[in-house]
């Protein structure tokens, strides 16, 4: 599984994914492999992709009230790669799965 990383660019309609390709993060047996020319960005991506994230799953909905169950998603898994896309914007980045 591969994620291509792009910057988020501020436009008049808000933040949108930029056209400039920044990095490639690949899920491999030993963890992840990051291909990026920018050392600072590579270190930042290593940190982002190495920490577990919390996935919120709705478990109850009644009268407009929604209850969620929080469960950690461990890094270096396919589920993590799918879920991390939703939090990359916090770091000014956009991800797209390519395989």
- Residue ranges of domains in the chain: 2-97
List the structure tokens of 54: 């919390």
- Sequential pLDDT tens for the chain (99 residues): 899 999 999 888 888 888 899 999 999 988 899 999 999 999 999 999 999 999 888 888 888 888 888 899 988 888 998 899 989 999 999 999 986
The pTM of the whole model exceeds 0.85: no
Burial 11-42 (b: 16+ CB within 10 A, else e): eeeeeeebeeebbebebeeeebebebeeeebb
Q: Which two tokens stand for residue 94?
A: 């956009």
List the structure tokens of 73: 């998603």
Paired tokens of 3 = 């994620």
């Amino acid at each position: 599984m591969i994620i291509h990383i792009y910057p988020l660019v501020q436009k008049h309609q808000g933040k949108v994914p930029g056209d400039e390709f920044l990095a490639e993060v690949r899920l491999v047996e030993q963890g992840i492999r990051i291909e990026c020319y920018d050392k600072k960005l590579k270190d930042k991506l290593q940190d982002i992709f190495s920490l577990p994230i919390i996935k919120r799953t709705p478990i109850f909905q009644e009268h407009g009230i929604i209850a969620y169950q929080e469960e950690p998603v461990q890094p270096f898994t396919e589920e993590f790669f799918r879920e991390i896309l939703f939090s990359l914007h916090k770091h000014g980045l956009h991800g797209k799965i390519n395989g």
